[in-house]
């Protein structure tokens, strides 16, 4: 579906913002494609404007607690899903702060296995203070899922640094015949999540990046520059693979429920975050770009205002082109640029973006640059969550 954005928009729009603040339950349906923690503060803020956001999350994380769980159970990563559920939860609901404390708690990384197993046992039996602070029925459900995990846990499972929230979601995943959506739904209802959280695919797959020097990097955790040394060469391509031990290409298609979420969006946002492993990774499953192109709502890209190790040597124009190429990969001959992207939302300070903001390059691609204050002295180098929310609301 080819669309034309012909109306002029006021960004921010105080009237739209005020309307949303008054009745967030009737707020716009904004859909985000994202990954890890970059959207946490925005998610915590946007629930004041709308309870109808959808968050499509990459399940390809291969580092930290997720790596141990994935190796043991052959499942998608749940850490970023947990993170987003907690960010969108209504903290005013009784018991939710206690659940937040539990879900963000990690077992010590410097303790021996016997001690860690005893600590997990205390949680399962409800004797741990983090569990006892949670009211029923949430406490019973969490204890049950922890018990399911404990019973399924391999004898050599390394509990050092384990995220309790990840263990709970893993137990729910195993309990529900290895489907993640039911457990996400249960916890969304229990903690009053003001939005919808879904993985882009429910498959145990990993990422491989092709580099400009001809080499490749296997595993998301080796690409971000957070858990491994920064890449020495620029990323030139990305694909899904079967596993860290089997790097052969894999295919996956999005489910009808993901297509439905895309079809129902009033605005689609490709937000800040690790360009390849958080944003472009979401476009790797077949059908994502096609579904986006068929939805005639505005689409906006919010580039990073802080350094991203994954974009070595890339200007803002280069990054926009990578997003476009990935979004159109389903069918480059039929999917037009403006079917998948319309706006580039940037701060007024060009110096925040490598190579600056090139109006001519954006115009050549049929893209409209929207400049408005996004980064404040307090939020720098990241966008201020409130300012960004108001800018996105104005585009709906």
Angle at 111 between CA 110 and CA 112, to 5 degrees: 130
Return the pLDDT at 9.
Answer: 73
pLDDT band at 322 (very low <50, low <70, confident <90, very high): very high
Lowest mean pLDDT: which of 80-94, 146-160, 318-332?
A: 80-94
SS (H, E, C) the chain: CCCCCCCCCCCCCHHHHHHHHHCHHHCCCEEEEECCHHHHHHHHHHCCCCCCCEEEECCCCCCHHHHHHHHHHCCCCCHHHHHHHHHHECCCCCCHHHHHHHHCCECCCCCCHHHHHHHHHHHHCCCCHHHHCCCCCHHHHHHHHHHHHHHHCCCCCCCCCCEHHHHHHHHHHHHCCCCCHHHHHHHHHHCCECCEEEECCCCCCEEEEEECCCCEEECHHHCCCCCCCCCCCCEEEEEEECCCCCCCECCCECCHHHHHHHHCCCEEEECCCCHHHHHHHHHCCECHHHHHHCCCCCEEECCCCCCCHHHCCCCHHHHHHHHHHHHCCCCCCCCCHHHHCCEEEECCCHHHCCCCCCHHHHHHCCCEEEECCCCCCCCCCCCCHHHHHHHHHHHC
Question: Tens digit of pLDDT for each residue in 338-349?
Answer: 999 999 999 999
294 in Cβ contact with 265 (< 8 Å): no
218-232: average pLDDT: 88
Return the pLDDT at 8.
Answer: 65
118-144: average pLDDT: 95
Residue 307 has pLDDT above 60, yes or no: yes
User: CATH: 3.40.50.300, 1.10.150.20, 3.40.50.10490, 3.40.50.10680. Which one for 14-58+253-395?
Assistant: 3.40.50.10680
Residue 10 has pLDDT above 60, yes or no: yes
Return the pLDDT at 7.
Answer: 54
Return the pLDDT at 139.
Answer: 95
What's the whole-model pTM score? 0.95
Most confident range (mean pLDDT) of 96-110, 218-232, 337-351 is 337-351
Question: Tens digit of pLDDT for each residue in 58-105?
Answer: 999 998 888 999 999 999 999 999 999 999 999 888 878 999 999 999
In the chain, what percentage of residues exceed pLDDT 70? 98
131-135: average pLDDT: 94
Residue 3 has pLDDT above 50, yes or no: no
Residue 325 has pLDDT above 70, yes or no: yes
268-291: average pLDDT: 97
Residue 108 has pLDDT above 80, yes or no: yes
Q: Which two tokens stand for residue 166?
A: 């990840």
Q: What are the extents of the domains in the chain?
A: 14-58+253-395, 64-199
Residue 319 has pLDDT above 70, yes or no: yes
Return the pLDDT at 282.
Answer: 98
Residue 298 has pLDDT above 90, yes or no: yes
Return the pLDDT at 4.
Answer: 42
- The mean of the pLDDT values for the chain is 95
Residue 2 has pLDDT above 60, yes or no: no
The whole-angstrom separation of Cα 196 and Cα 198 is 7
pLDDT band at 39 (very low <50, low <70, confident <90, very high): very high
């Amino acid at each position: 579906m080819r669309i034309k954005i012909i109306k002029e928009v006021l960004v921010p729009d105080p009237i739209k913002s005020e309307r949303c603040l008054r009745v967030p339950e009737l707020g716009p349906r904004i859909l985000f494609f994202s990954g890890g923690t970059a959207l946490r503060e925005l998610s915590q803020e946007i629930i004041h404007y709308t309870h109808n956001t959808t968050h499509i999350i990459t399940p390809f994380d291969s580092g930290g607690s997720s790596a141990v769980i994935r190796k043991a159970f052959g499942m998608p990563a749940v850490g970023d899903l947990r993170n987003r559920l907690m960010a969108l939860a209504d903290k005013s609901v009784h018991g939710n702060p206690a659940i937040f404390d539990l879900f963000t708690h990690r077992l010590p990384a410097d303790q021996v296995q016997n001690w860690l197993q005893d600590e997990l046992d205390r949680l399962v039996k409800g004797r741990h203070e983090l569990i006892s602070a949670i009211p029923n029925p949430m406490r019973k459900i969490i204890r049950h899922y922890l018990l399911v995990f404990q019973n399924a846990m391999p004898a050599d499972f390394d509990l050092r640094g384990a995220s309790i929230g990840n263990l709970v979601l893993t137990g729910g995943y195993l309990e529900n015949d290895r489907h993640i959506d039911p457990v996400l739904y249960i916890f969304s209802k229990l903690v009053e999540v003001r939005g919808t959280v879904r993985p882009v695919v429910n498959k145990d797959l990993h990422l491989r990046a092709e580099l400009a020097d001809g080499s490749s990097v296997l595993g998301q955790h080796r690409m971000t520059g957070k858990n491994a040394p920064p890449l020495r060469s620029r990323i030139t391509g990305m694909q899904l693979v079967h596993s860290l031990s089997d790097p052969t290409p894999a295919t996956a298609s999005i489910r009808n429920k993901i297509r439905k979420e895309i079809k129902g969006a009033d605005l689609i946002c490709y937000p800040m975050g690790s360009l390849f492993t958080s944003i472009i990774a979401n476009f790797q499953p077949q059908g994502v770009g096609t579904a986006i192109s068929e939805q005639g709502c505005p689409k906006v890209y919010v580039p990073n205002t802080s350094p991203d190790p994954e974009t070595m040597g890339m200007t803002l124009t280069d990054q926009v082109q990578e997003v476009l190429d990935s979004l159109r990969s389903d069918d480059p001959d039929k999917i037009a640029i403006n079917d998948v992207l319309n706006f580039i939302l940037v701060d007024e300070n060009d110096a925040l973006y490598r190579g600056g903001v090139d109006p001519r390059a954006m115009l050549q691609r049929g893209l409209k640059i929207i400049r408005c204050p996004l980064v404040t002295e307090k939020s720098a180098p990241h966008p201020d969550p409130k300012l960004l929310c108001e800018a996105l609301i104005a585009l709906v």
